[in-house]
Structure 1
Amino acid sequence: MSNVSPDVVRELAPTGKLRAAINLGNPVLAQGTPEAPRGVTVDLARELARRTGLALELVPFPAAGKVFEALQAGAWDVAFLAIEPVRAAEIFFTAPYVIIEGVYLVPKDSPLKTVADVDRAGVRIGVNKNSAYDLFLTRTLKAAQLVRGENGVALFVEQKLEAAAGVKQPIAAYAQSHPDVRMMDGRFMEIRQAMGTPRGREAAAAYLRKFVEEMKASGFVADALKRSN
């Protein structure tokens, strides 16, 4: 039996199951298929279920924006998302368990050389709608224009945009296999990936904060990332 308090269990699993949202759109954090996801977020969800004695239901999503949208429907109890002010208004976040980088992809012969060059009039940037970097760039860009869709890199290619924004690892992999583009040196943001639970669940949030710190300190997170990346 779990020695976790009844309040925590009730808030983590009001339906009787721990429903963990898994974002398959970020290959650093989750890989595999909706039927058989794997990666650090899946490992953390399973360990949380083990510690709390709860049955686990993995709820896969194709993108972080879809995870956030599903919050309104009450589709999940815990999620793995980047900390962003828009999201934090509705989600209690833990401290980050990993920090990844947001970078730009540009045509190989692009005159844009530095991250600062991108924020100028006439520059269009493809982004995954409601991703952490979409939300960040929406707040911070002064002159460049965001073009949003299901796949920012695909928009970049199809519409011949000046740049695409994304997570460093998949952007680097794309650039390596497409010689007509390059990943720009430097990052435009640090993406702080954390666990979260809907606001109003104070006991669950406090438990998750301690859980994440233990998972980092024990090496669990580092080991899970090594296995999957």
Structure 2
Amino acid sequence: MTPDSDLLAAFAPTGALRASINLGNPILAGTDPATGQPRGVSVDLAGELARRLGLELELAVFKTAGDSVNAVAAGQADVGFFAIDPKRGEQIAFTAPYVIIEGAYLVRQDSPIARMEDVDRAGQRIVVGKGSAYDLYLTREIKQAEIFRAPSSPAVVDTFLGENMEVAAGVRQQLEADARRLGGLRLLDGHFMLIRQAMGLPKRRGGRAAAWLAAFVEDMKRTGFVAGALARHGIQGASAAPPETA
């Protein structure tokens, strides 16, 4: 795991490790109310990666998953924290997941929609954060309902209510928080997808850097670093992914 000059150049061509941080997913990162600085599991992992590489850390902070992904794909950031998705995988080399998150549906309390199976019906509109893992997944899977894209994941429920639509889709924890905040809403039982949250870097950085990052994530899971970060930041409803078996 000791990096040499070639590996450091692959990870950080500018001389500093630029980590793309998405504030649109509260499980991964948020803003410290006391300092205004980003904090969370992804920030902790970025810091530990930079420490092990012996590099200065620079955070590139974004409000949406789509912008965060685009920054890494374009080489404007060196590593990022994303849900694994085949479309994103065209340009980004993913590690195995370090966190598993549920994707859930939210409806009004008096909605006739009672089960997951009731969502994909003609005439129903599902609101999702533009460019999020849920957007990518539902775009492939939904056959009859219409998908409406809110500007960001945190804006999904307000858009759902403001536009009088039928279903909101997103991170279970974000939807639960919005339901408590607004009232008159309920989550459907179960999940429509399990999001495998991983680290990634541009594929053009090469296989050696991708393998080193993959080994780093496995060590972070095996040693309890990920589970400890989830507990430290008070994250509930998400779990550390198990280590990969050989």
- TM-score, with normalisation over the residues of structure 1? 0.96
Provide Cα deviations, 1:160-219, integer angstroms capped at 9, x if missing partner. 000110101111111122221111111000010000000122221110100000000000
Q: Aligned partners of 2:201 and 2:72: how far apart in 1?
A: 9
Whether the aligned pair in 2 keeps the contact of 1:7 and 1:203 (CA below 8 Å) is no
Q: Aligned partners of 1:27 and 1:146: how far apart in 2?
A: 23
The RMSD of aligned alpha carbons is 1.4
Q: Aligned partners of 1:73 and 1:199: how far apart in 2?
A: 11
Provide Cα deviations, 1:44-65, integer angstroms capped at 9, x if missing partner. 0000000000010011000101
Q: Aligned partners of 1:120 and 1:146: how far apart in 2?
A: 11
Residue 224 of structure 1 corresponds to 229
Q: Return the offset for 1:154.
A: 2.0
For these two proteins, the number of residue pairs brought into alignment is 228
Whether the aligned pair in 2 keeps the contact of 1:94 and 1:212 (CA below 8 Å) is yes
Structure 2 unaligned spans of 5+: 236-246
SS of the residue 1:18 aligns to = strand
Residue 219 of structure 2 corresponds to 214
Are 1:132 and 2:133 matched, yes or no? yes
Whether the aligned pair in 1 keeps the contact of 2:78 and 2:202 (CA below 8 Å) is yes
Q: Aligned partners of 2:29 and 2:202: how far apart in 1?
A: 21
Provide Cα deviations, 1:22-68, integer angstroms capped at 9, x if missing partner. 00110011011695111110000000000000010011000101112
Whether the aligned pair in 2 keeps the contact of 1:105 and 1:163 (CA below 8 Å) is yes
Q: Aligned partners of 1:48 and 1:161: how far apart in 2?
A: 42
Provide Cα deviations, 1:92-123, integer angstroms capped at 9, x if missing partner. 00000000000011011000011111011011
Provide Cα deviations, 1:46-91, integer angstroms capped at 9, x if missing partner. 0000000001001100010111222354210000000001100010
1:196 alignment partner AA:
G
Percent of aligned positions with the same letter in both sequences?
54
Whether the aligned pair in 1 keeps the contact of 2:20 and 2:71 (CA below 8 Å) is no
Residue 2 of structure 2 corresponds to 3
2:64 alignment partner AA:
A
Q: Aligned partners of 1:43 and 1:132: how far apart in 2?
A: 22
Whether the aligned pair in 1 keeps the contact of 2:73 and 2:92 (CA below 8 Å) is no
Whether the aligned pair in 1 keeps the contact of 2:22 and 2:61 (CA below 8 Å) is yes
Q: Aligned partners of 2:69 and 2:118: how far apart in 1?
A: 31
Whether the aligned pair in 1 keeps the contact of 2:128 and 2:170 (CA below 8 Å) is yes
Structure 1 unaligned spans of 5+: none
Q: Which 10-residue stretch deviates more, 71-80 or 189-198?
A: 71-80
1:42 alignment partner AA:
V
Residue 197 of structure 2 corresponds to 193
Residue 32 of structure 1 corresponds to 31
Residue 46 of structure 1 corresponds to 47
Residue 181 of structure 1 corresponds to 185
